[in-house]
Chains A and B, each alone.
Chain A
């Protein structure tokens, strides 16, 4: 079966802009979670969605938001980008029996 698909793979944005990242989970997986990976902070949990509802949110400012659609695809949005938002953003979809499967990530560079 197809894996988790994240688009785009790479993005370059300017400070102050906003960005939207997309994640398509494995078919049948209803839980989608997002993580930020940076060299300084490592892997940090952003938020998790299940059946279009945000169930958990990590310790990130309100500039970071997300949503999930009825087909389980998810998007995350970062507004008013800062240099420190440069990171690899990873999406994972999960089922209790399957564990967590990650996509290849979106590499965001803010200049």
Chain B
């Protein structure tokens, strides 16, 4: 099938700590992969994306590398800030005569000062 699994939260870190949120996907084809972030009361904002194996997406200090051999797309940030507190969603594209996304369950990140 076309599924995405990401680590359950919440993840609680102190400011300036290193962040990793794990994400794996089922290997049906070579889908584009995404990380979205959702702040309270808002919609989803695209954080980064990668469209093929070994691509590295990056934005605002966040990075994720498309790993075909491990079917993973883990999100990392070297030094988190309080303002990074949000829910993070990993997603893969499904191209089945159309365009749509399937999402992981979301990981809530809480960063304490």
Which A residues contact B (CB, under 8 angstroms)?
6, 31, 33, 35, 42-43, 45, 48, 50, 55-56, 90, 92, 94, 96, 99-105
Q: Does B28 contact A (CB under 8 A)?
A: no
Decide: B43 and A48 in contact? CB cutoff 8 A.
no
Interface pairs (25), CB distance under 8 Å: A6-B43, A31-B98, A31-B99, A33-B99, A33-B101, A42-B103, A42-B104, A42-B106, A43-B89, A43-B103, A55-B98, A55-B99, A56-B96, A56-B98, A90-B44, A92-B44, A92-B101, A94-B99, A99-B32, A100-B46, A100-B101, A102-B43, A102-B45, A102-B46, A105-B42
- The reply to whether A99 and B49 form a contact with Cβ atoms under 8 Å apart is yes
Interface residues on B, range: 20 to 34
Q: A42-B106, A43-B89, A45-B102 are in contact. Are A99 and B97 (CB under 8 A)?
A: no
* Cβ A104 vs Cβ B42 within 8 A: yes
Q: Which residues of B contact A92 (CB under 8 A)?
A: 44, 101
C-alpha spacing A90/B45, complex, angstroms:
12
Which one of B89, B96, B101, B103 has the highest number of Cβ atoms from chain A below 10 Å of its Cβ? B101
1/0 per position for B21-32, CB-CB distance to A under 8 A? Answer: 000000000001
User: Is B43 a contact partner of A103 (Cβ separation < 8 A)?
Assistant: yes
CB distance from A6 to the nearest CB of B (A): 8
Given A43-B89, A43-B103, A45-B102, residue A101 in contact with residue B97 (CB < 8 A): no
Min CB–CB distance A63 → chain B (angstroms): 20
Cα–Cα, bound, A43→B43 (Å)? 11
B100: chain A residues at CB < 8 Å are 33, 45, 48, 56
Chain A residue with the shortest CB-CB distance to B46? A99
Lowest 6 CB-CB distances: which A-B pairs, in order?
A55-B98, A56-B98, A43-B103, A102-B44, A104-B43, A102-B43
A43 to chain B, nearest CB (A): 4
Residues of A with C-beta under 8 A to B46: 99-102
Q: Are B106 and A50 in contact (CB under 8 A)?
A: no
